[in-house]
Structure 1
Amino acid sequence: MSGSRQPRLKVAVLGCGSVGSQVVRLLTEQADDLAARVGAPVDLVGVAVRRLDAAREVQVPEGLLTTDALGLATREDVDLVIEVIGGIEPARSLILGALESGASVVTANKALLAEDGSTLFEAAEKAGRDLYYEAAVAGAIPIVRPLRESLAGDKVTRVLGIVNGTTNFILDKMDTSGAGFSEALEEAQDLGYAEADPTADVEGFDAAAKAAILASLAFHTRVTASDVYREGISEVTAADVESAREMNSVVKLLAICELKGDAVSARVHPAMIPLSHPLASVRGAYNAVFVESEAAGQLMFYGPGAGGSPTASAVLGDLVTVARNRLDDVRGPGESAYAARTVLPMGETVTRYHVAIDVEDRAGVLAAVATAFAEHDVSIQTVRQEGRGAEAQLVVVSHRATDAQLSDTVEHLRKMDIVRDVTSVMRVEGGGE
């Protein structure tokens, strides 16, 4: 890119849905500003779509739409490819094709990075090109770059996040209005926060993919979505939310990534957290990620975690960085997986439990329940009885123990004659040992 004439960078966009359309809008509306920030004009040369005649949120400039995504991604004159199609295929093949053809890539594809990120990073390394993905986790919130670059000289020990806006909206609605899960989900769908098929969100698949990416970055270890323990929120009841309120807590779907000696753990599940914790105040469809490290201490990143414009903002931020690197003929950071730590199974993860137990209202019940916990080496932090007779219920909060010990304790309780039912089991995070 030598000579007196200013170089021009050619950009291809793969996908023109809610995010892709906003990326196209920003590329065209802010072309002059982007050129000034990059140091060279950034020309949009093509937008790959499935159907040319589909209705779109933005007007794509004449002649740029194409259904030949692979042809566009592998064009010899394309410098930068933005992938916002999502899913595994054809996105993986398109990204690999772009890298092999010499383009740098910006992607928002959390599912692909969590399932097969190593293949993409290896291809980028081999091609000597950038692969940036800030938009893959928590929308507009800058969290990938802080973990990848800003905290690269520190030792991150824990990442705790609300990384799915749909589930946070539902749980927040259940907390503030007393609604049940189905009612809150229906409202989320009516408002456009939840898809017609909400499975990826409410069953934790979306959050698990993000947890895998966060754990990989934080602990310099390859963590895939299959390594992440996952529970969704579809079993959370209004009674669970009320129990949390009585403990001065709220229920949140948390992505939790922890460094444990020479191993790491990654899990997604609903949990009670005390109102004093910064994440407890994250309301509606917002996201937040809480990071703990040895030198920096505690950091929190907060903001809109989804949506076309917020996510496009993160995409364009990556685009500017990658474009600058391209002009200077340098690369940004690649994959850091040197630590290659073991990923602990959920059973070895240390946590606490809140257990609600319907019991017979007679002498010796409390002692028998306490004995069941003791037999599995689980210490009880608090216990209280609610109601009498047929309504008698014990609510037990444990101290920290392995998840396997706690799970075995619950199974033991279910088999006891004095126990009519274990009505609720939920993990507790923060606020005690």
Structure 2
Amino acid sequence: MQTCRVAIAGFGRVGRATASMLLARRERYRDLYGTEVALVAVVGSRAGLIDQDGIAEARFADLEAGVSGPDVIAASGADVVIDAGPSDHRTGGPGLAYLIQALAAGHDAIAISKGALVHSGAALMETARATGAMLKVSGASGAALPTIDLIEHSLKGAAILGLEGILNATTNYLLDAMMARGIELSDALAEAQAGGFAERDPRGDVEGWDTASKLVILANFGLGAPLAIDDVRVGGMEAVTSAEIAGWRRDGRVPKLVGRLSREGETWRAAVGIETYCADDPFARVPGKTKAIRIATDTMGEIVALGCGEEPVATAAAALKDLEHILAARRRARGT
């Protein structure tokens, strides 16, 4: 029985959900991959735990002050590092330091946080190639919505001509509420925040930056297109008025905040903004908290996928899907 030691950097709602789900699936990992998975470290911004014999869920409430930072992860002997911390595309932190350290040491890494991938995606991929480590990014590029996996596996061999996506569930929920009930953005946002669905600071969502970050990740990691965040033309929904909503409803159009990657020869263009769709378009029928992606190909036609899952469980599940890809690859490498 092989052993895989996992460390989680970032221990908020998503990090804790990932840790709990990982421990609950240990028997699955033994049965399917012949691997004993041990959670050897969890670290937040100021506290954490480290135990090379494995951490049980009962200990999550007893984080130790000062147990934090990349050095703690390195000392844990982790074979796989999961970055589940906060996201900052301007600096890449705090996840960038954890990912660089893991990949440089030849350890596999799973990114849930988008910031490091947007800030330094090319450098992280190059480090992974140089050391032979695997870097997986499902949780950062759509979570329950299959995006990277769809491109890498289901559309293997086809040329991607372009894609568009409703990649932010919060903005889709807000626009859906505004259209269905004719309420103002401020009222829809207050409802979403009261329900714990929208962030206390929603600017990253409503101004389009979360969608832009996901486009950059899809471009770099899915399409091999070297786009930076500054290459994306970014618009949001903060200026949508009740008059516009009424006009779209009258005209039978449905607004969505959409991220789009368009191919012009060998060049890729990226944009985020409000687009409207006729009522019979699949995107017009994407409700509430659901996300969607539509990919145009040369040989497989047009592919549409929808995904909706409760957070933080959906994002945790996407990260652990990546872990299963890693465990499967390791088993193939062992020839067992």
TM-score (norm. length: structure 2): 0.90
Show the counterpart of 1:153. Answer: 157
Pairing 1:94-113 to 2, within 5 Å after superposition: 94-113=98-117
RMSD: 2.1
Distance in 1 between the 2:80 and 2:63 partners? 15
Distance in 1 between the 2:68 and 2:269 partners? 41
Show the counterpart of 1:24. Answer: 19
TM-superposed deviation, 1:120: 0.7
TM-superposed deviation, 1:61: 5.4
Give the direction of change, closer, same or farther, for the CA distance of 1:98–1:296 in structure 2 (3 Å limit): same
TM-superposed deviation, 1:11: 0.8
The reply to whether residue 205 of structure 1 matches residue 209 of structure 2 is yes
TM-superposed deviation, 1:294: 1.3
TM-superposed deviation, 1:62: 8.4
Show the counterpart of 1:272. Answer: 276
The reply to whether residue 320 of structure 1 matches residue 324 of structure 2 is yes
The reply to whether residue 38 of structure 1 matches residue 33 of structure 2 is yes
Q: C-alpha offsets along residues 318-356 of structure 1, whole Å, 9 cap, x if unaligned?
A: 0011123234448xxxxxxxxxxxxxxxxxxxxxxxxxx
Q: C-alpha offsets along residues 29-72 of structure 1, whole Å, 9 cap, x if unaligned?
A: 2211122222211111111122449xxxx744588867233123
Distance in 1 between the 2:63 and 2:200 partners? 31
Show the counterpart of 2:54. Answer: none
- Which amino acid in structure 2 is aligned with residue 7 of structure 1? Q
- Which amino acid in structure 2 is aligned with residue 95 of structure 1? L
Distance in 2 between the 1:104 and 1:64 partners? 25
Query: Gaps spanning 5+ residues in structure 2: where?
Result: 49-56
- Which amino acid in structure 1 is aligned with residue 37 of structure 2? V
Whether the 8 Å contact between 1:86 and 1:108 is mirrored in structure 2 is no
Distance in 2 between the 1:145 and 1:174 partners? 32
Whether the 8 Å contact between 1:34 and 1:42 is mirrored in structure 2 is yes
Show the counterpart of 2:52. Answer: none
Q: C-alpha offsets along residues 377-404 of structure 1, whole Å, 9 cap, x if unaligned?
A: xxxxxxxxxxxxxxxxxxxxxxxxxxxx
The reply to whether residue 69 of structure 1 matches residue 73 of structure 2 is no
SS at match of 1:74: helix
Give the direction of change, closer, same or farther, for the CA distance of 1:67–1:172 in structure 2 (3 Å limit): same
Whether the 8 Å contact between 2:10 and 2:84 is mirrored in structure 1 is yes
SS at match of 1:82: strand
Give the direction of change, closer, same or farther, for the CA distance of 1:202–1:310 in structure 2 (3 Å limit): same
SS at match of 1:85: coil
Show the counterpart of 2:8. Answer: 13
Distance in 1 between the 2:63 and 2:157 partners? 43
Q: C-alpha offsets along residues 69-88 of structure 1, whole Å, 9 cap, x if unaligned?
A: 31233237321111111322
Distance in 1 between the 2:173 and 2:273 partners? 15
Aligned length: 322
- Which amino acid in structure 2 is aligned with residue 45 of structure 1? V
- Which amino acid in structure 1 is aligned with residue 75 of structure 2? R
SS at match of 2:149: helix
Distance in 2 between the 1:313 and 1:46 partners? 19
Larger C-alpha radius of gyration, 1 or 2? 1
Whether the 8 Å contact between 1:134 and 1:315 is mirrored in structure 2 is yes
Distance in 1 between the 2:310 and 2:123 partners? 26
TM-superposed deviation, 1:244: 1.4
Pairing 1:308-347 to 2, within 5 Å after superposition: 308-329=312-333
- Which amino acid in structure 1 is aligned with residue 161 of structure 2? T
SS at match of 2:75: coil
| Aligned counterpart in structure 1 of residue 250 of structure 2, from 246, 252, 255 | 246
Whether the 8 Å contact between 1:174 and 1:180 is mirrored in structure 2 is yes
Show the counterpart of 2:220. Answer: 216
- Which amino acid in structure 2 is aligned with residue 80 of structure 1? V
Q: C-alpha offsets along residues 274-315 of structure 1, whole Å, 9 cap, x if unaligned?
A: 111101111111111111111111111111267210001100
The reply to whether residue 172 of structure 1 matches residue 176 of structure 2 is yes
The reply to whether residue 86 of structure 1 matches residue 90 of structure 2 is no
Give the direction of change, closer, same or farther, for the CA distance of 1:122–1:64 in structure 2 (3 Å limit): farther
| Aligned counterpart in structure 1 of residue 147 of structure 2, from 118, 143, 148 | 143
SS at match of 1:117: helix
Distance in 1 between the 2:67 and 2:333 partners? 31
Give the direction of change, closer, same or farther, for the CA distance of 1:186–1:8 in structure 2 (3 Å limit): same
- Which amino acid in structure 2 is aligned with residue 226 of structure 1? D
Q: C-alpha offsets along residues 148-192 of structure 1, whole Å, 9 cap, x if unaligned?
A: 233231011121110111111110010000001111111111111
Distance in 2 between the 1:191 and 1:76 partners? 38
Give the direction of change, closer, same or farther, for the CA distance of 1:219–1:124 in structure 2 (3 Å limit): closer
Whether the 8 Å contact between 1:19 and 1:312 is mirrored in structure 2 is yes
SS at match of 2:226: coil
Distance in 2 between the 1:71 and 1:95 partners? 12
